[in-house]
Amino acid sequence: MRASLILALLVGLTGCSSDRTTINTSQSLVMESSVLSAGITTDEPTIRENEGQQRAATVLFNQQEKPVQVTYRFYWYDDKGLEILPFERPRTLIVPGNGKADISSQTGNLTASKVRLYLYL
C-alpha cells in the first residue's frame, strides 16, 4: 500500500513538471490593481520596426486630478516565447493630473516579435 502511494505521488509530480523556458506571451499588458485605482489607463503596446530596431509604444492616461508616479518595464520575446536579453530595467515616470505620458522601448534584436508591458506603482 505504501509503495502504491509513493508511486502515485511520483506520477502526480511528474505530470506537474513542465518546460518553464517559455512564457505565454498572449497577454501584452499587465497592470497591478493599484495602477487602475490611481486612475491610470492605457492600451496594449504596439510594435513597429524603426530604423532596424523593434519599437514598442503606448500612452498612459491619468484620469485623476493629481499626478501619479508609475513604474513600468517592457519584456521582449521571440516567436517561441523566449525572453530576449538584455533585460530592460524598470523605469519610473510621473503622469500629470488629467494628462498623458508616452512610453516606449526599443530593442536591436530583430527576432523580437512580442512585448509585454508591466505597470505598477
Asked if 69 and 93 count as a contact pair (C-beta separation under 8 A), the reply is: yes
The SS3 of residue 7 is helix
Q: What's the pLDDT tens digit per position in 80-115?
A: 999 998 889 999 999 999 999 999 999 999 889 999
How many Cβ atoms from other residues are within 10 Å of residue 32's Cβ? Answer: 13
pTM of the model: 0.77
Residue type, 26: S
Q: Which three cell numbers stand for residue 39?
A: 486612475
Which of 9-18, 48-57, 66-75 is the least confident region?
9-18
Q: What's the pLDDT tens digit per position in 36-46?
A: 999 999 999 99
Residue 20 confidence class, pLDDT cut points 50, 70, 90: very low
Residue type, 34: S
Residue 23 has pLDDT above 80, yes or no: no
Distances (CA, A) of 20 to 11, 74, 94, 107: 19, 20, 35, 24
Is the CATH number of domain 19-120 3.40.50.1820?
no
Asked if 31 and 53 count as a contact pair (C-beta separation under 8 A), the reply is: no
**Conformation bin of residue 45: beta by default, left when phi > 0, alpha when psi is -120 to 50:** beta
